[in-house]
Structure 1
């Protein structure tokens, strides 16, 4: 029930409330780049690295372009393709320009993050005209639902679709960061909240929970973790269907009736080491059925081994949760 409070705290700490109100792009991009730095590694390791070396910033990258970098990849967002900068070997696809190139200057954890930083900057500069708040407003206001889809899905795709082509960002990280941004701005822009509350970020913990419980095999389309989690019958669709059956106003009056992002986060907290620490690979030997007998769902759970397709007990159904 602290979900909104935590978002509000992060929103205020990063200065996003003021940035959205004033249409100030810099703090929002800085926050996005910091959040992207937590991909593929533990939060503690990422946080320690950032504390020692800092992150890329809108102002620093913008200043580097005033010096007119010679690399042809940096001419525009559309030119920035297959940069291939590698921090360890200090190589890229344009070796004649690397000595003067500003892209390697931010001391980030790996070269992929440097490419992400410059790709995002060029996206905001060239596609959003340096006005990220205005771009989000326009994308949401002009989105139209196609037959058989919802307006929330259309608005999500209006944001995630273009940003999906920024180098190094996945649907998961986009859903996670954008939902925080959009939910945090709910008092200023209600349409942002309506979009953000429906965004679902599926990570391996959420995917594996749906597999182990048998929900994925019973109510969706079995698949490995990845893009299929957002396809029809995937993890996101299952959670969205589940959220339609839960009135979360019984938990907090501050919540809307349907809150898919909160339901997804609740599943994540059930599994995560920083949460209830129950359904995860550190607690379960995935070569066999889970044996955590004191788990809240033990009697209802399918307890399907993650590395086996065989179901050992009855699967959880929506009405049981």
Structure 2
């Protein structure tokens, strides 16, 4: 079986589209289509179902990808080993949510820069975007709050993040002591909400876990970065739900006040994901190990 055809096939499988695969491979779309058809003729079975937007692998396609992808990645690692020796460094392409990459991941990886590692980061809006980009070959390592499915990506739990309901001291002073424990979320309907998205992902998750209800209010301020949410909240824009690692300093210095201390605080797990087989590449393995080591203190 032609390795070039297998490489094209795995790229299409990861990208979910002939067009995106062609861009990744530096080929024309007709060339990619021709190679996939040639491989399908060799196997005597279809590998993809063509749809209006991209392609979906058949069961045969999924089976072949799970068997072939790790070996192809290992061959790439061998082929690129000389580049490591000649250049003395490799570039790690990291994707993740902006505040976690900025506050957690980059400081943990910085010591590797002195060892010859170069870093390129992609700040994404959602974990799905990070995992899709990883599967398509745009990134080497993705940090996400969702565990990827299937065998093309391998995920390792990294850390848990505790969520805290916070507001500025001015807003917190308007709530009588213990009123949230007695009356629950209905009390908070009088406060404006600061969030990262109109769908209130952090507030809705907190409300479901702590109050077993859905938030009634819409967002007053929307900012797609939790650091901006923190600053707006500390400035008096309203209440917010923030990761404790991000707001601990503001809580300690009195810029924010925790409105509630539930017996079981809501948690969210972060995962490190790589394409299966790519931990054989030294620069990805070093970054993976460094993040795991740093996460023991998070």
TM-score bracket relative to the smaller structure: under 0.3
The two structures have a TM-score, normalised by structure 2, of 0.22
The two structures have a TM-score, normalised by structure 1, of 0.21
Q: Identify the structure with the greater strand proportion.
A: 2
Larger RCO (alpha carbons 8 Å, 6+ apart)? 2
| Bigger Rg, which one | 2
